[in-house]
A and B are shown apart, each in its own frame.
Chain A
Amino acid sequence: MGKIATRKAFGQKLEELGASHKNIVVLDADLSKSTKSELFAKKFPERFFEMGIAEANMISTAAGLAFAGNKPFCCSFACFLTGRYDQIRMSVAYPRAPVVLVGTHAGIGIGEDGNSQMGLEDINLMRGLPNMMVFQPADEMETHQVVEFVSQYKDGPAYLRLTRQGVEDVSPANYRFKPGKGQILREGDDVAVIASGGVVMPALQAARALEKDGVSAAVINMASIKPIDEETIINYARQCGKVFTVEDHNIIGGLGTAVGEVLIENGIHCAFRRHGLYDVFGESGSPDSLYEKYRLDDAGIAVTLKEFMQGVTK
């Protein structure tokens, strides 16, 4: 199985859509080689705007392009993009500008560059904005489908969170992405594992590994974090009685928090654990060494899930 970074899958799809969707315009802040928006830039230079290292200006400019009837994709690293919160709030979200904010280099999975380049609070920030949708695809196919969906969406902005590192395919061949819909990757009765983005495959492997310990774990890929699939969360929480979320993001305000809100507001009392970055910043290291240290690789998730099943709290 080939490993493709979701940023690369994004770049390729955008380049493809550029030919048929003449209203697509792309902006980048001196990171087009990293966000992969360069693929579009090379093919459609007249619809690509290099904005230099000035993200605030880029975001508000994208809003103006959107108001004038274009479909802007506004690209940078997740942390730099969402760091310009006031511009996203006032220029984009409040007036429902149909801008797609593309934040690549999500999580500690980026590795050596360290904390300053890691998007670790971005889901929390974007989830808190009215009118903003938040999507985090788990593999190449899902990324293509999410990009296709947002490219046609006219009623408001969306935040797309993408990985630097390659990810393996998790989606079945017949998968169709729908906003507000989770994807069941594995059925199970003892615990519902809900994951998103680059850690979906490790979460799936962890669930498989626990089979030998007699644990039957369902695995749900939650690419659509806002809107979120309340029905699937409720059904699987009731069926399994235990919910375990996994994300390469601070556990505060991310996928786990979104799932927890659904559980509590629907009166579901179950064992619940948010696994991810436990309210800490990132650091330098190889992606593998970081995933090992922060227990986001197959083995680390499996150990943490096992502890959770045994009632060990963090």
Chain B
Amino acid sequence: MKYPRKDLSNEDLAVMCKKARRDIVKMLAEAGSGHPGGSLSAIDLIMMLHYKFMRHSPQESDPDKQDVFVLSKGHGVPALYAAYAAMDYIPREELLSLRKLGSPLQGHPDKILMPLLKASTGSLGQGLSVAQGYAFSARVKKTGQHVYCLVGDGECNEGQIWEAAMSAGHYKLAGLTVVLDYNKAQIDGLVHEVMDSEPLRQKWEAFGWRTFEIDGHNLEEMEKTFHQCLEEKEKPQVVIAHTIKGKGVSFMEKDLVKWHGVAPSQEELQVALKELQ
């Protein structure tokens, strides 16, 4: 397996995360639409999992031997595309075809056009159930795969998230880790104003999950926590990752609700790229 690269230092990973951030703002500016805030908040988590935890390889054809990542918050897919480009799963130049006619880089994940993806998401709330299906399969086939699912905080408004939380808890799906990108904002405003989901940690605990709460941009803390998740044998785990929407681009961090779903202009892109050097 090419991955995980356990020897990779967090210093080197941080450099790669920054490069992925540059790719995210570039592809969104080129597309002229999309979701920068939630892509920039999730990228560190996505990179850590793909580089240092998940077993996968472009050369491995047997899917049962590879760990699974489901992006339930489909609008954050530019972050996943950037990670794929970083790992040479897709050509870097293809990133600029995002959201354009004929591109496999659809505005939201399309599993048929890009078979690398494990689910077609974008209608929020469904990806966690799909991830649960992969985890059920791993249990039935005894593959030893671990399944990761990235969900959004706004996404936790969806009833289906809690249906899946209940069933994964019921089935004690220890092979499933949910990473909750808690960036505090959704389209219509701050999460606690739109639909307050607190106390979030207690909710997951009540459904039978082992819970962690971390800084979603601190690679050391993240690494330590994901190791603990792999050691858990009795319960599914949720990592509530406190993140900053638009992380790395100051004008986005300052106006996080606005930058949920607006692409930077060419001028804004230049400012962002300078900050992300």
Residues of A within 8 A of B (CB): 25, 46-47, 49, 51-52, 54, 56-70, 72, 86-87, 89-91, 94-96
Contacts and interface: CB of A to CB of B under 8 A. Distances in A.
B25 to A, nearest CB: 28
Given A56-B163, A60-B160, A68-B63, A91 B111 contact: no
A52 B167 contact: yes
Interface residues of B, number: 37
A37 to B, nearest CB: 16
B136 A60 contact: no
Contacts of A54: 163, 166-167
Contact of B126 (A51, A60, A66, A70): A60
Given A54-B166, A56-B159, A64 B119 contact: yes
B132 interface: yes
A18 to B, nearest CB: 13
A87 B120 contact: no
Contacts of A46: 140
Contacts of B131: 64
Contacts of A72: 133
B130 A64 contact: yes
B205 interface: no
A61 B130 contact: yes
Contacts, number: 113
A57 B164 contact: yes
B144 to A, nearest CB: 13
B120 A94 contact: yes
A90 B159 contact: no
A56 B129 contact: yes
B223 to A, nearest CB: 27
Given A51-B167, A67-B119, A61 B111 contact: no
Nearest to A96: B112
A68 B133 contact: yes
Of all A-B residue pairs in the complex, the 6 with the closest CB atoms, nearest first, are A64-B133, A60-B129, A68-B137, A57-B163, A64-B130, A54-B163
A57 B129 contact: yes
A91 B122 contact: no
A90 B164 CA distance: 16
Given A90-B121, A90-B122, A95-B119, A25 B163 contact: no
